[in-house]
Amino acid sequence: MSHDTSTETIPQRAEAIATAARAGAKAWSGVGLAERRALLQQFAGLVEEHASEWVRIATEIKGLTPGTPPVGEEWISGPWATLYYAGHLAQTLVRMEQGGAPTDGFDIRPVPGDRVAVEVLPHSVWDRLLLSGFSAEVWCEPGVSADEVRSTAGLGLREPEAVRGTCVVLGAGNIFSIAPLDVLYVLYADNRSGALKLNPVTDRLLPVLEAIFAPFIELGAVQVFTSDLELGAAVIAHDGIDAVHMTGSEATHDAIVWGAGAEGAANKAAGTPVLRKPITSELGGVAPVIVAPGRWSKRDLEFQARHVATMRLHNSGSNCVAGQVVVLSKDWKQKDEFLAALRRAFADAPARPAWYPGTPGRIDAARSGATPFEEVGGTPERTLLPTLDPREDEAAYSMEFFGPVLGVTELPGTGAEFLGQAIDFANDRLRGTLGANIVIHPRDLKAVGEDRFEQLLAGLRYGTIAVNAWTAVGYLSPFATWGAFPGHTPDDIQSGHGVVHNGLLLQRPERTVVRGPFRPFPRSWATGSMALTPVPPWFAHNRTAHITGERLVRFSIAPGWLKLPKVFASALRG
């Protein structure tokens, strides 16, 4: 419950937040599985109820024109992503309430490297219709058996009464479902109370977030607050806070863990962190888009160019998993045709502001290197770096631009040889391990062979890998995991530590592998795919994204056959 904090000092406010978090953890320990599911369902209803206000505020924050297709990004990456996750997490609770395991009804198969994979998408008839042609698997760490996956799934819900204390969630400022989804994960997977500190960009969403979390706030398990840097630091440091989860930059993570400035650098060099409590994090990185050479039709070139442009231009490039470096084969006969189509896709995508704070400076930094750049049109900020040298330490390989800047580099080879070199390049030269994308024609995939292709995927060290899809589909998939590839250490954190989402509450996930159709419906059928998905609503060029996005929200709160025709009608017009 909100109260007047205008006369309180920073230590007093931090004390109040920590005290409330402690009381909330105790209250949460008394909430069993059935009541936790009921709270989640109430939450979902409130998301749908307040979705229009959520999107209206998001539209204003990002400088979008109401009622235009770019607003669809806010419907899909805001209320719909949140609703979609809440509904699927509730399914996990139902299975556990009934004495089953979260993985009951999910196929598990062996994959390369002594791993097993849990098939998590599609899982329902609605998945098969709304995301027709898309699939996802969670690959577990090497050595984890199928039996272990089944027997350990559930995380904090295995003993809901054994609450693990309190957690401060440092909310992201770019995609507005991140903060509420992170809080749900803290509550249900980590089994802690959650104190959500908003990013200053999202302060205006405080009333909406308080409204959708009202059942949890009334219980005391959640609180939401705006803050400046000083209050945030005081809350994090408070003894009443047991853990921290953050979404943000690597620099912010290091300032929290090691301290700021020269003192922080010295602490990091000495291995003496100032934060002595667990921290999980999702920190973005430089995401590759590996384009396998092949023989493509003109329509394939145009569609996949728009696909790659979407990976960069969605949210004006202010995404932790925005594609940043396109890796092409210098031996691809259609390379120049594809680059021409990519330039057109950038120029033709609907204009939207480069709205995120600091974007102009990051674009200037991207353009100021030795590599030539092109202003490709559409908006003044859209930039192509067409000739990145794979042998040099280009800034694009280490700096996350977080804006509409896309680089291109070239490697030799075709087929499996090219894929192997591109994977080594991504692993060894690009900063971070959050997401990697591969675009490959089904004919060329068949030539490589499925077994060999999966071996190549096993060697690609990223937390989400998307084949003929964008890794954002992994973010949207509730049973998939979202986070860096495991193994980063606090002194070299790169894309972070730990995962979120993970609606099956798997204990030792390693990565998510997403696959999509190479062509949209109806052309998908020409490649042997029965996918029914037209141009996806998250594509930057989709003409009805705002309509489809809202209809997906209204559908998700109460799925039904009578609602499907309107969703499909809008999607097909996109």
What's the pLDDT band for 228 if we cut at 50, 70, 90?
confident
195 membership: H or E segment, kind and range: strand 193-197
Q: pLDDT tens digit string along 518-533?
A: 998 888 887 777 777 8
Interaxial angle between packed helices 250-258 and 261-270, expressed in degrees from 0 to 180 and rounded to the nearest 10 = 80
Residue 1 clears pLDDT 50, i.e. is over it = no
- Residue 529 sits at φ, ψ, to 5 deg, of -90, 140
Q: State residue 196's pLDDT score.
A: 98
What's the pLDDT band for 2 if we cut at 50, 70, 90?
very low
Residue 12 clears pLDDT 80, i.e. is over it = yes
Q: pLDDT tens digit string along 495-510?
A: 999 999 999 999 999 9
Q: State residue 304's pLDDT score.
A: 98
The β-bridge relationship of strands 374-375 and 383-388 is antiparallel
Determine contact, residues 253/246, Cβ cutoff 8 Å.
Answer: yes
- Distance (Å, whole) CA 235 – CA 265: 22
- Distance (Å, whole) CA 178 – CA 185: 11
Nearest CA-CA partner of 369 in 350, 385, 391 = 385
- Cα dist. 86→73, 110, 222 in Å? 19, 29, 16
Residue 4 clears pLDDT 80, i.e. is over it = no
- Distance (Å, whole) CA 182 – CA 281: 10
- Distance (Å, whole) CA 500 – CA 252: 19
Mean pLDDT of 84-104: 97
Q: State residue 249's pLDDT score.
A: 93
Peptide bond just before 522 cis, omega within 30 deg: yes
Residue type, 356: Y
What's the pLDDT band for 562 if we cut at 50, 70, 90?
confident
Residue 369 clears pLDDT 50, i.e. is over it = yes
The β-bridge relationship of strands 464-467 and 435-439 is parallel
What's the pLDDT band for 565 if we cut at 50, 70, 90?
confident
- What is the sign, positive or negative, of the torsion defined by CA atoms of 16, 21, 24, 29? negative
Domains and CATH numbers, the chain: 1-31+160-282 (3.40.50), 54-114+542-574 (no CATH), 287-476 (3.40.309.10)
512 membership: H or E segment, kind and range: strand 509-515
Determine contact, residues 471/312, Cβ cutoff 8 Å.
Answer: no
- Distance (Å, whole) CA 514 – CA 540: 20
**Two structure tokens written together for 125:** 């008839």
CA 349 distance to own-chain centroid? 22
Residue 6 clears pLDDT 70, i.e. is over it = no
Determine contact, residues 47/523, Cβ cutoff 8 Å.
Answer: no
Q: pLDDT tens digit string along 261-292?
A: 999 999 999 999 999 999 999 999 999 999 99
Q: pLDDT tens digit string along 436-445?
A: 999 999 999 9
**Two structure tokens written together for 556:** 């998700």
Using DSSP, how many helices (H) and how many strands (E) does the chain show? 23, 19
Interaxial angle between packed helices 178-188 and 33-49, expressed in degrees from 0 to 180 and rounded to the nearest 10 = 170
What contacts 13, CB < 8 A, 6 or more positions away? Answer: 5, 231, 234
Mean pLDDT of 33-46: 98
- Cα dist. 448→23, 443, 451, 462 in Å? 57, 9, 8, 21
Percent of the chain topping pLDDT 70: 99
Q: State residue 51's pLDDT score.
A: 98
- CB-facing half-sphere around the CA of 237: CA atoms within 13 A: 15
